[in-house]
Structure 1
């Protein structure tokens, strides 16, 4: 099976029949990849697809107990036949890795510059300290760091973006021919993501270095890479030129990934979400791994493992029905990307459900210097309205949300929720406090940290129901089942514990718990940013449905303008604690007036085929 699309016959990296397993349990089926000199490819798929383990197998750093078979050849050298001592002379020097979380990639006990210094010591020209120090400075400048003191700072003293730049400089210090970047921007803010990806591409072109980008984000892959490998449940489902795959996906899974991504240029009535979740490779041996989630699956898809075969020049797909269903795939894409009707302007003379006036929140900073996280912010949320609060980390978004639900007390300013003064929960009358807590609930970014791991889902919902009704009789199995049904889960989930749930299932449980008190407004703090793109689409559709059915209001806190465009009618843009722009969503994103808003819009990944909204 030839998977070396558009190969010159002498690629820098050739992977053939690479299969990864845990003992006798398969994690990936045999797959083949080729990377030309100076080429950028992407390996794309959801969590659990095998992307990161494939990258680690190529670099020869699989975890203990995980085994790989097949061949990995770098410039003619069979890496999997080398002893560990020989691999160490390849790893870092010819092949290097950049991990997702820069804080775990850097040694917390070493200064930033020392990570680069350590990588330079094996080279004769940097045997003494002075040349190494000069080279560290040059390497930091290459990744956009010109501040003299960064080399002397510890990782905890650096931002996530700065840590990732230092980690990149260290990964490049030995001038590798191939860099494997495993989700290098996922843990970062949208503007920092864009900066890191632009930096990676610039350095890759200047050095004529090969790059493998591991990502779950198809749009990021399209904007960055020349070829795409789509991996699902350990098997390759589609391979091809990035522009061609973007123009017309051949596999239903590729199309599902693409349509799950919220479009930045339009608001759609509903995202096309892939139902279910990624299975284990061991559970779909001998059949199409995507069949259980595919609307076009037939018996032929389950009768055997579909081979990855050529369907066009430089295009491979593992869909046995591609010729039959391509017209339907194309029609679905056209229909899914039709803009939703314009949201009618609300009459803002009616009473606001939430009023925030001149809110200030100051924290004690180091050496007695106060930090003003929120600066004179005023905001309105009308009944049944969805409002977006947009900004990067450190802008004050979460602090504002926590002030609304009483987890922080503002330093100054006024908050009114359903007409009740709610700036200081501690000073409120007991009845008013109880009423406000029933009116407003908060959903957090990480649902696992908000659920007691020792309690079942049913126990968590029972507590919320009792808090709402004040009686144990309110928490009946029927009420719990109704709450679960409201968020798309079966009654059987009541007996399960958080550890047995996927990220999307945990977030649904967190939403059900918030709904138990029948709130009028939900404060949603980055509720989909930690989820896979297909699960993100499912949860965003759920938020839309719940708003329509229950008349809910939302304060939707996010850094992602593509997400907020799908959910919010109005947007407030927060920068360094201040509102710098506000207005209807379509106007703010379509015609941003403030330089910061423009920067957020420009940070949305786009391929050469796309234009800014």
Structure 2
């Protein structure tokens, strides 16, 4: 996979195999990074992306081992002692993590993280000189407010923390930056800003970048070459433009088509069924075979190797020549699918009516912070409504006010005709009725499930909180709830820690359905999921809406996602609604500058723009 006619690559990874004891996590991998080049390693959670990145710089967790060869500009990194590796980390190769709060010491001021990286350089021996350099480094990542250097990480937004973490990662001027999901935890506009910033700095420094991501749209818009990793094996490698134009492996195409298009609302998102297996379980066969529509016995008879198809393309699909026409046809059919016209909600009175809602929190030094300003909205029976905006816009606060987790400072909330602005002041009968009418699903299902309780216990508790009307035996009802969200009855005995992110979210949805609600408030329910799992869960939401005649308030920062689920949307900016209307009209013809900025921030793949 080395490129002919060029000087030796900056980084060469040969036969890199990672294991936990005798259990393989990745099978031998080959990766090449040229000087100044940006490559992407893409794949779902559990594929081995992050551990591969950590193995390159020698920071694997205890008990995890790596074999093979990693050569950085002629230096064999895996042969170096830890003391020697420390001199290379930061100065020649550096890492930027997904969550900036894990990179920044919560007890250190933001500027001190950069200062610490400069102290061992003779030219920055003086504290005053370092202070000037810290200022310059922060300016390089777009931070011109000098007060930021004096703030603690918890006083900064997620995007600002990521900028500080990037400045610290670049402080020793590395030749190679490994960015592990650097924008996944951020809202869409901040994502776009961080990626644009990273690309600018990379070009200015002629720095090589390895981008670790599950987002192929992001990879195609940023990188020259793509490595598709799945269950510890490379399934496809090639120039980004060529892979985007015509993926050779069914898994690559599945990832591409799992991305919700912003241009149209499709009848059904393409979702890859199942989940990523362990490398140890597919060591002698194609790891993707059990999830592949084109798999045959030959795919399970042995481990397919990564084979060249032309000078710049490699694939591990042994049936690629036979099925390429079908892959292309599926892509074409998906992109040309007739846009779905969302069904209209009922014509009866609104199930949820919010009028002039205000919520003020006590800020630092007693200064009030107004999170919501004069917000009015309604949700009809059977209708799905999107609430869109960046982090800090007030979306979650509105959702929490609707379910009684926050009490608004002013304004009125009526749910199914019951005044519900202050749950504490409601009669018990009314409060119980409202809680059965409206339920909430949160972004992180793990934090809302008791880790000591089995799935069956969680659902049994939810059923116990229902109306007490006659129902099937609890075990039957639990099995029925699990079946509704696509899980088998066997999941009742499992605990949250043994579930994947998508499975946990399905359990959270099942728990919300236990009381047979009319309305679900869904707070970023798919933002923490891989694109393939996100497509599965979005399809589930749409099916449940039809089967149960549910109404949704779907809270998200992603307009591509909201287009697939909502019939109307409200756009929220700094606590105020700045635009509202049918989803099709708002996205196709936005009137407010903020809405236009949200739409422009969406990374679009050419596969979704192709005719």
TM bucket by the smaller chain? over 0.9
| Aligned residue runs from structure 1 range 320-339, under 5 A | 320-339=318-337
Task: Give CA-to-partner distance per residue, 1:543-594, whole Å, 9 cap, x none.
Answer: 0001111111100000111110110011100111100011111111111111
Task: Give CA-to-partner distance per residue, 1:129-164, whole Å, 9 cap, x none.
Answer: 121111111111110010011111111111111111
Q: Match of 2:589? A: 591
Q: Match of 1:520? A: 518
Say which of 504, 507, 510 aligns to 1:509: 507
For 2:119 and 2:325, locate their aligned partners in 1 and report how far apart those are by CA, in whole Å. Answer: 58
Say if 2:52 is the partner of 1:54: yes
Q: Match of 1:38? A: 36
For 1:66 and 1:382, locate their aligned partners in 2 and report how far apart those are by CA, in whole Å. Answer: 53
Alignment check: 8 A CA contact 1:602 1:612 kept: no
Say which of 62, 66, 77 aligns to 2:75: 77
For 2:45 and 2:65, locate their aligned partners in 1 and report how far apart those are by CA, in whole Å. Answer: 20
- Larger deviation, residues 573-582 vs 590-599: 590-599
- Larger deviation, residues 116-125 vs 344-353: 344-353
For 1:247 and 1:6, locate their aligned partners in 2 and report how far apart those are by CA, in whole Å. Answer: 23
Q: Match of 2:158? A: 160
Q: Match of 1:406? A: 404
For 2:5 and 2:176, locate their aligned partners in 1 and report how far apart those are by CA, in whole Å. Answer: 16
Alignment check: 8 A CA contact 1:233 1:280 kept: yes
Change (3 A) 1:139 1:570: same
Task: Give CA-to-partner distance per residue, 1:288-332, whole Å, 9 cap, x none.
Answer: 011111111111111111010011230000000000011111111
For 2:330 and 2:103, locate their aligned partners in 1 and report how far apart those are by CA, in whole Å. Answer: 41
Q: Match of 1:223? A: 221
Task: Give CA-to-partner distance per residue, 1:17-54, whole Å, 9 cap, x none.
Answer: 11111111111111101111110000001111110111
For 2:6 and 2:87, locate their aligned partners in 1 and report how far apart those are by CA, in whole Å. Answer: 27
Change (3 A) 1:344 1:461: closer
- Larger deviation, residues 397-406 vs 56-65: 56-65
Q: Match of 2:110? A: 112
Q: Match of 1:248? A: 246
Q: Match of 2:172? A: 174
Aligned length, in residue pairs = 611
Q: Secondary structure of the equivalent of 1:469?
A: coil
Change (3 A) 1:464 1:7: farther
Shift of 1:348: 8.1
Alignment check: 8 A CA contact 1:45 1:51 kept: yes
Say which of 133, 136, 161 aligns to 1:135: 133
Say if 2:200 is the partner of 1:186: no
Alignment check: 8 A CA contact 2:12 2:72 kept: yes
Change (3 A) 1:298 1:346: closer
- Larger deviation, residues 337-346 vs 307-316: 337-346
Say if 2:233 is the partner of 1:200: no
Say which of 237, 259, 268 aligns to 2:257: 259
Task: Give CA-to-partner distance per residue, 1:197-220, whole Å, 9 cap, x none.
Answer: 000000000111100000011111
Say if 2:84 is the partner of 1:86: yes
Alignment check: 8 A CA contact 1:508 1:539 kept: yes
Shift of 1:345: 7.8
Change (3 A) 1:384 1:5: farther
For 1:582 and 1:305, locate their aligned partners in 2 and report how far apart those are by CA, in whole Å. Answer: 53
Say which of 287, 295, 298 aligns to 2:296: 298
Shift of 1:243: 0.9
Change (3 A) 1:498 1:609: closer
For 1:320 and 1:78, locate their aligned partners in 2 and report how far apart those are by CA, in whole Å. Answer: 33
Q: Match of 2:532? A: 534
Alignment check: 8 A CA contact 1:569 1:585 kept: yes
For 1:395 and 1:520, locate their aligned partners in 2 and report how far apart those are by CA, in whole Å. Answer: 26
The root-mean-square deviation of aligned C-alpha atoms, in Å, is 1.8
Alignment check: 8 A CA contact 2:96 2:180 kept: yes
Alignment check: 8 A CA contact 2:226 2:237 kept: yes
For 2:345 and 2:440, locate their aligned partners in 1 and report how far apart those are by CA, in whole Å. Answer: 26
Instruction: Name stretches of at least 5 consecutive residues in structure 2 with no aligned partner.
Output: none
Q: Secondary structure of the equivalent of 1:29?
A: strand
For 1:508 and 1:606, locate their aligned partners in 2 and report how far apart those are by CA, in whole Å. Answer: 28
For 1:248 and 1:241, locate their aligned partners in 2 and report how far apart those are by CA, in whole Å. Answer: 11
Q: Match of 1:395? A: 393
Shift of 1:452: 1.9
Say which of 548, 551, 569 aligns to 2:549: 551
Alignment check: 8 A CA contact 2:24 2:280 kept: yes
Shift of 1:469: 3.4
Q: Secondary structure of the equivalent of 1:21?
A: strand
